[in-house]
Amino acid sequence: MEEMIFAATCLFGLESQLGKEIDSLGCRRLSTIDGRVIFSGAPGDGPRCNIRLRYAERLYAVVGRFSCASFEELFCGVKSLEWEYWIGRDDAFPVSGHSVKSTLYSIPDCQAVIKKAIADRLGGVYGLVRLPETGKTYKIEFFILKDDCMMMIDLSGVALHKRGYRPVSSAAPLRETLAAGLADISRPCRDVLFWDPMCGSGTIAIEAAMQLANIAPGVNRTFISQDYPQFTAGMWKDAFDEARCLADTNACFEVRASDIDPACVDIATENCRRAGVDRWVHVFRADALGIKKEDRKATIVTNPPYGERLLTPQEAQKFYRQLGKSFSDLFPWHIYILTSDEEFERHFARKADKVRKLYNGMIKCFFYQYFRSGSDSAPKESRILRNR
């Protein structure tokens, strides 16, 4: 197969970053919808994207797309696809998926119809009445949006946000892919101090350091498709070798990760070691309210505790007021804060230069960005967020 169609999923709000990342790998974007980017590339791009996409949750091979408004159309559409290219006579093929704004809203019924259609197709190809499903596992994923069905095969296995450096986390951890997105939005530079003063398990600081050193997020983990004959051992070796060669182990920059909780400091320290960024990330105990400005450029990127995670809403708002008073002395340092509180600017007493809506898992959050030295105080009533 000279060209494959791939789908990469992501958290809502990270689609543009994921798309640009796919472009940078030389693949061709075909379409973008909420939470996923569809693109084409050579088979060897499957391993490359699994290893190097920072913002993707999973990578899929798209087997086919078709319209269906009934279960009969779903069955016929699925059966018409060339499943034998992927699935051998002994291989297992569990089915899962989602349906959004479709007449085919019953997930269990969709699963049953799709499973039967694939089994009928493969049974006819291999001359079997019953498929043993004792070999490799190919995880089938369907996504039906407004009666348009996309059939895919999972190429990642364990979700891509699980880099492997965080087996133990602090309370309410931030997903690695979102942390990478926050770091990217803040535009980290090697000559600018990057600091997360409420670091928790250190995820934001680690992801920033990995970007600054160009360390691929998946270089130290495995993927389910490493066992698929469609992606040869040579493809995987080339992809891993390419990623390791691109890492700049001699890069010079400073990242700080501090937290008031000594348990978080211990966890973040160990996570930095596992991620291979401990030479750049200085982890230490400190109160975020006691930060003092230094005579250098710096960027603060942090995810403070908020009402839906660790504190009550009232406690979180009180803390934001304290944070606003403390951080007011840090400007013109750039400050980026993620929280679920839509009234954060009022509590922080400063209007953000830009606000971006993102999702931490299923929690809607807002990334408040302060990067202009002339940022003025917030009005009495919270303004409408400009780029929801």
Average pLDDT on 92-108 reads: 96
User: Average pLDDT, whole number, for the chain?
Assistant: 93
Please state, in angstroms and rounded to a whole number, the distance separating the CA atoms of residues 297 and 189: 10
Cβ atoms 78, 123 nearer than 8 A? no
Asked whether the predicted pLDDT for residue 246 surpasses 80, the reply is yes
Amino acid at 43: P
Please give the CATH architecture assigned to the domain spanning 4-154: 2-Layer Sandwich (3.30)
Closest to 299 in 3D by CA, of 361, 211, 175, 176: 211
Q: Where in the chain is the domain with CATH 3.30.2130.30?
A: 4-154
pLDDT-derived band at 21, boundaries 50, 70, 90 = very high
Least confident of 80-89, 136-145, 203-212, 353-362: 353-362
Q: Residues 148-162: what's their mean pLDDT?
A: 97
Query: Residue 382 above 70 pLDDT?
Result: no
When pLDDT is averaged across residues 256-269 and rounded to a whole number, the result is: 95
Give per-residue pLDDT as tens, 187-220: 999 999 999 999 999 999 999 999 999 999 999 9
Residues of the chain with CATH 3.40.50.150: 176-215+228-370
Output the pLDDT for position 363: 87
Characterize the bridge pairing of strands 95-100 and 28-33: unpaired
Using 50, 70 and 90 to split pLDDT, how confident is the model at 384?
Answer: very low
Topology (CATH level 3) of domain 176-215+228-370: Rossmann fold (3.40.50)
Q: Give this prediction's pTM.
A: 0.92
